[in-house]
Structures are given as structure tokens and as C-alpha cells.
């Protein structure tokens, strides 16, 4: 669906704006954020090492080489999914809250321990959805769990702030009636829209090379993420990429070779 | 309607089918989500009590929690087959 791509893009986007940001991988056993962020060869200690007291938090945090205020916290490759112990995670989250302006938790798929742990501490949640029936249904399920099982719900505080981010969107296919439109998804999930990320080959290029797509100045998806981050911090941005691109006569003929 | 449309009717766009199916399935799932988890247990225990007196099947008892204005309404429906009352008396376990 694009959760890790989105986490990487948001973390980089917030850090580029000068906010001290850390992005945490919660997918125990299926570590991948390190690859997407391009720091897989610099992982020494991980989340579980810190929880078990084998390493300090500072030893495990990886500083991004491109953006000063950006840190990556890798997960462990252990097969024990329950290794993220409640008290340990609580302690790590408290420490990170004190040190960082933004703590991005990259949730694994599903509704198992890892996902529940990732959403538990959330103040805000970005629901990443594809315009596809299975993805929309799963999102609805996660929205229900956020409302019932998050820390804010348990402590009866104000609810988690929810945002919808629609990824892999193809306005051309929507126009032909082949894909759920952004308005359809908004209506079904009744969430405010944070952004539309167009389907783009540059997303694969970004993960291939380990560079968050938001750092690719040429990428439409990167620009869309930049808009979404701006909206997240309260700026007004026009919603781009919701309509098919108007192709000029020349681009129609030569555009293909250029992309 | 042109002759062309008559011979080649347009299939409904698949996106609108997707939307309709999602709206239906999510309406059901959301209703289930708000159901307190004691309802299935209550239903089982009620069934145990009722079968002492009348022969009813599991699916003849329906328990649901609804809303009427400000109050919650616990609705219990027991469907009793005609034969269960007029038929020969059943041995009632003590």
C-alpha cells in the first residue's frame, strides 16, 4: 500500500523543513525501512537491542547522511513477533518524544502485535490507502482499531487525529471508471484528505536507490508528498494530481520518450 | 437511445460496482464493531434457558443492541415454532 514509502517521505519532508524527526520501523522480522532510507549497511543495533538493554538509544539511532535533522531507528530481524515488549516500547517512545519534534512510526501491515504497538502511542495517524476495495476495507478496520485501542482511547483523551493519504492514484483510470475516485474513498471512509500521491515509476526508482522519493525533484509523487507534508504542518496547498494531466500535442508524441 | 447503444449496451463502470460493494460490506462491519462482546454469550445462555421449556434452535434467538433516542435498547427475539408448544411435552432435564 505504501506505508514504508510514505513514512520515509514524511520523515524526510518534515526534516527538510527543519524539524528534528525520527522514523521508526515497527515491522519486527521484516525490516525494510533501512533499505528504503538507504542506510541498510549502517545498522548495528536495533529496536529490540535497545528494549533488552543491550544498546543505548543513541547507539541504535542512525543519522541520515543527507538531512541533518533526520534519524532512522531500525527494527530487528528476530522471528519473535512479541519481542516489542510493552514497557520497553513505552520507555523508548517517552525518550524519543522528549528529543524529537516528530516521531514517525512505520506500521507493519495487518492488525497483529506490531501494528497495534505502532498505533498505540499515536497523536496523529496517516491512513495510507490505495483506491482498491481490499485496501479501503482494511483502512476502515484500522480506523476502528485506532478509535478503540490507542493510548488516547484508553486514557479517554481527545481522539487520534486522522488523515487520509491516497497512494498509487491514476486520474486517467478514474476518468474511465476503472478506479475508485478520491471522492469515493473520502466518502466511504469519511476522513479528511491529506494528499493524493499519483502512480509513478519514480517511486520504484526511489526505493531501488534508497533515496526517499520526496528528495527526487523530478518526481510527481515526490511533489505530491511535499504538498502532503506541508498540509500536515498546517499550510494550505492546492490539491494537485487529482485530474488527468493535460497533454499538449507535442508532449503526446514525444512525452513518452522523455519520461 | 441509438441503435448502437441497443446492440452494445455499456457495462457499468467497475469503480461504481466497487463503491457499492464497499459501502454494503462496511455498513455491516461497522455495526458489528460497535457490538459489545457479551452479546454472543448472552445469546448462548438465553438459548440454554429457553430450550429447557421449548424446543428452539440456535438461530431462532436473536439478540441485538440498538438505539432509540437517548436510550440503548436490548432487543431479544425468540421465534417459537408452533409444534414446540402444541406438540407432546418434552422431558425437561432437572
pLDDT in the model for residue A67: 96
pLDDT-derived band of residue B91, with 50, 70 and 90 as boundaries? low
The CA distance from A29 to B23, in Å, is 35
pLDDT in the model for residue B61: 86
Inter-residue contact A11 to A23 (CB < 8 Å): yes
Residues of A with a Cβ under 8 Å from any B Cβ are 132-133, 136-137, 140-141, 144, 174, 176-181, 184, 188
The CA distance from A83 to A94, in Å, is 18
Q: In a 3-state reduction of DSSP, which class is residue A69?
A: coil
pLDDT-derived band of residue A84, with 50, 70 and 90 as boundaries? confident
Q: In a 3-state reduction of DSSP, which class is residue A192?
A: coil
CA A122 → CA A119, A158, A250, distances in Å? Answer: 5, 12, 48
A183 pLDDT more than 70: yes
Contacts of B13 in chain A (CB under 8 A): 176-178
pLDDT in the model for residue A259: 45
A239 CB neighbour count, 10 Å cutoff: 15
Inter-chain contacts counted by CB atoms under 8 A, chains A and B? 36
- State how far residue A156 is from chain B, nearest Cα, in angstroms: 17
DSSP secondary-structure letter at B1? -
Please tell me if residue B23 touches chain A, with a CB cutoff of 8 Å: yes
Strands A70-73 and A102-106: unpaired
CA torsion, ordered B41, B44, B48, B51, to nearest 10 deg: 150
Residue among B22, B32, B33, B37 with most chain A CBs within 10 A, to mutate:
B22
Instruction: Name which of A38-47, A107-116, A128-137, B57-66 the model is least confident about.
Output: B57-66
- Contact A184/B15, CB-based, under 8 Å? yes
Contacts of B21 in chain A (CB under 8 A): 133
Q: In a 3-state reduction of DSSP, which class is residue B77?
A: strand
- Give chain B's mean pLDDT: 80
Mean pLDDT along residues A235-241: 92
The CA distance from A42 to A39, in Å, is 5
Contacts of B15 in chain A (CB under 8 A): 174, 177-181, 184
pLDDT in the model for residue B36: 72
A258 pLDDT more than 50: no
Distance of CA A211 to the CA centre of its chain: 14
pLDDT, tens only, B20-36: 999 999 998 887 777 77
B87 pLDDT more than 90: no
CA torsion, ordered A115, A120, A122, A127, to nearest 10 deg: 30
A188 pLDDT more than 90: yes
Q: Is the full-model pTM beyond 0.90? A: no
Please tell me if residue B37 touches chain A, with a CB cutoff of 8 Å: no
- Contact B30/A176, CB-based, under 8 Å? no
Instruction: Name which of A78-87, A106-115, A151-160 the model is least confident about.
Output: A78-87
Query: First and final CA of chain A: distance in angstroms?
Result: 24
For chain A, give the number of residues.
259
Q: ipTM of the assembly?
A: 0.80
For chain B, give the number of residues.
94
Amino acid at each position: 500500500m505504501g506505508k514504508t514509502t510514505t513514512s520515509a517521505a514524511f520523515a524526510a519532508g518534515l526534516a527538510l523543513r527543519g524539524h528534528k524527526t525520527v522514523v521508526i520501523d515497527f515491522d519486527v522480522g521484516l525490516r525494510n525501512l533501512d533499505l528504503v532510507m538507504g542506510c541498510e549497511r549502517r545498522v548495528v543495533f536495533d529496536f529490540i537491542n535497545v528494549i533488552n538493554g543491550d544498546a543505548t538509544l543513541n547507539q541504535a539511532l542512525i543519522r541520515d547522511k543527507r538531512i541533518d535533522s533526520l534519524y532512522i531507528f531500525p527494527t530487528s530481524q528476530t522471528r519473535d513477533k512479541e519481542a516489542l515488549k510493552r514497557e520497553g516500547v513505552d520507555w523508548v517512545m517517552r525518550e524519543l518524544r522528549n528529543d524529537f519534534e516528530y516521531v514517525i512510526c512505520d506500521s507493519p501491515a495487518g492488525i497483529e502485535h506490531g501494528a497495534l504497538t505502532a498505533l498505540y502511542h499515536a497523536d496523529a495517524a496517516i491512513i495510507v490507502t490505495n483506491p482498491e476495495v481490499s485496501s479501503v476495507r482494511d483502512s476502515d478496520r484500522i480506523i476502528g482499531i485506532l478509535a478503540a485501542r490507542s493510548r488516547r482511547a484508553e486514557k479517554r483523551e481527545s481522539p487520534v487525529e486522522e488523515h487520509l493519504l491516497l497512494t498509487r492514484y491514476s486520474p486517467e483510470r478514474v476518468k474511465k471508471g476503472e478506479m475508485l475516485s478520491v471522492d469515493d474513498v473520502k466518502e466511504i471512509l469519511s476522513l479528511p484528505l491529506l494528499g493524493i500521491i499519483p502512480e509513478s515509476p519514480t517511486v520504484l526508482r526511489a526505493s531501488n536507490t534508497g533515496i526517499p522519493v520526496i528528495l527526487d525533484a523530478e518526481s510527481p509523487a515526490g511533489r505530491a508528498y511535499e504538498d502532503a507534508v506541508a498540509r500536515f504542518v498546517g499550510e494550505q496547498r492546492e490539491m494537485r494530481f487529482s485530474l488527468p494531466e493535460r497533454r499538449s500535442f507535442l508532449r503526446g508524441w514525444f512525452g513518452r520518450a522523455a519520461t | 437511445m441509438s441503435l448502437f447503444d441497443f446492440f452494445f449496451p455499456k457495462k457499468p463502470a467497475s469503480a461504481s460496482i466497487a463503491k457499492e460493494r464497499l459501502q454494503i460490506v462496511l455498513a455491516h462491519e461497522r455495526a458489528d464493531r460497535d457490538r459489545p462482546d457479551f452479546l454472543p454469550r448472552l445469546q448462548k445462555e438465553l438459548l440454554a434457558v429457553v430450550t429447557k421449556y421449548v424446543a428452539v434452535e440456535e438461530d431462532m434467538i436473536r439478540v441485538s443492541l440498538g438505539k432509540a433516542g437517548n436510550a440503548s435498547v436490548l432487543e431479544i427475539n425468540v421465534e417459537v415454532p408452533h409444534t414446540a408448544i402444541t406438540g407432546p411435552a418434552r422431558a425437561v432435564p432437572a
